[in-house]
Amino acid sequence: QARFAEFGGGSVQAGGSLRLSCEASRDDLTRYCMAWFRQTPGKEREAVASIHPNGARAYYGDSVQGRFIISQDSAKNTLNLDVNNLKLEDSGMYYCARGPIIAQKCPSRAILYNLWGQGTQVTVSS
């Protein structure tokens, strides 16, 4: 059973933008690493971005650096991902996940995250 509810995905042309959001709890956002992963058919889940508790520090995958922004909205208890200048290869199912801080960093391996959402689909077309 999915722990989080993601929304905001959709179909967009290359170069466009979306905001993905994940409904979480205050406990999730203040005590754990929260991350966005992306998965396409036949491939493993890829870490797109992650953020420290309380948004203290963020990490990005090389392919999205400079285009995606991860953030927390403490008033709404949501984890957000602004995806900008979308490329065809950004298409996929995007998942929100919760995991531990390891060595003062948010891990990038999906297996280290124990709570997940059901995903929201992003489709980028030319």
Largest distance between two CA atoms of the chain: 41
- Among all chains, which residue has been given the structure tokens 């995903």? 119
Per DSSP, the three-state class of 115 is strand
Decide if pLDDT at 1 tops 80.
no
Distance, in Å, from the CA atom of 60 to the CA atom of 75, rounded to the nearest integer, reads 24
- Closest to 28 in 3D by CA, of 69, 78, 75, 70: 78
Both tokens of 113, joined, read: 């995250």
- Tens digits of residue pLDDT in 22-53: 999 999 999 999 999 999 999 999 999 999 99
Q: CA 39, 18, 11 angle in degrees (round to 5)?
A: 65
Task: State the pLDDT at residue 29.
Answer: 96
Instruction: Please give the structure tokens belonging to residue 67.
Output: 């285009």
pLDDT of residue 31: 96
Judged by phi (left if over 0) then psi (alpha if -120 to 50, else beta), residue 102 lies in beta
Mean pLDDT across 92-120 = 97
Does residue 56 have a pLDDT over 80? yes
Write down the residue that tokens 């929260």 correspond to: 34
Question: 14 falls in which pLDDT band (50, 70, 90)?
Answer: very high
